[in-house]
Chains A and B, each alone.
Chain A
Amino acid sequence: SQQGEEDPQALSIQEGENATMNCSYKTSINNLQWYRQNSGRGLVHLILIRSNEREKHSGRLRVTLDTSKKSSSLLITASRAADTASYFCATDAGQGGKLIFGQGTELSVKP
């Protein structure tokens, strides 16, 4: 199966709730990145966490990384309708910029 598997594949929540997405990968990495893709648009970088970091925050985003379990999670707190998008994790193993993407989680935030 592909590197960077995410779950759930789809998540539907109400505005104000928290959304958690998980990502698992198979090989050693230098860093793991999360991207957002709005429908019909390109990917936008959200946050990067290096292999020697365990947790990182950026605004309403919180990312954790457990290299022993080869997994990461993205938490979006106090979600808004504008957070509706697909979220992808991507691993960077230091192979000349090659990012390996998960299949993504489709988040729907209902107002």
Chain B
Amino acid sequence: DTAVSQTPKYLVTQMGNDKSIKCEQNLGHDTMYWYKQDSKKFLKIMFSYNNKELIINETVPNRFSPKSPDKAHLNLHINSLELGDSAVYFCASSQLSSGIEQFFGPGTRLTVL
């Protein structure tokens, strides 16, 4: 009964490949997010969706494309992976789009070789 789940937990791939990370929340929340945490633990928002609609799109290369098939799922697809994409990617969700706590998934550690 995990609240926010992500798959896979670890992802090791070669430069130039395309990969996807999936996220699901069973909390009934309306808003979902993707964050990237670098090797220095700095955490930065990438995208957020509210009821399947994109509301935040930070300065992220267009190789990254989020997709929300329904409000319980927010997947992240990454094309043409680069070494600098290596990081831990966290999915999160919240009931409202602001002013409230966010619930984080366990993270996906992406390593690009």
Could you list which residues of chain A lie within 8 angstroms of chain B, going by C-beta atoms?
Answer: 2, 30-31, 33, 35, 37, 40-45, 48, 50, 86, 88, 92, 94-101, 103-104
Could you list which residues of chain B lie within 8 angstroms of chain A, going by C-beta atoms?
Answer: 4, 31, 33, 40-45, 48, 50, 55-56, 58, 90, 92, 94, 96-107
Contact of A42 among B99, B100, B101, B104 (CB under 8 A): B104
Tell me if B104 and A96 are in contact (CB < 8 A).
no
Sample (29) of A-B pairs whose CB atoms are under 8 Å apart: A2-B42, A30-B98, A31-B99, A41-B107, A42-B4, A42-B105, A42-B106, A43-B43, A43-B104, A45-B103, A48-B100, A48-B101, A50-B99, A88-B43, A92-B98, A92-B99, A94-B98, A95-B98, A96-B50, A96-B55, A96-B97, A97-B33, A97-B102, A98-B45, A98-B56, A100-B45, A101-B42, A103-B40, A104-B41
Contact of B42 among A40, A50, A103 (CB under 8 A): A103
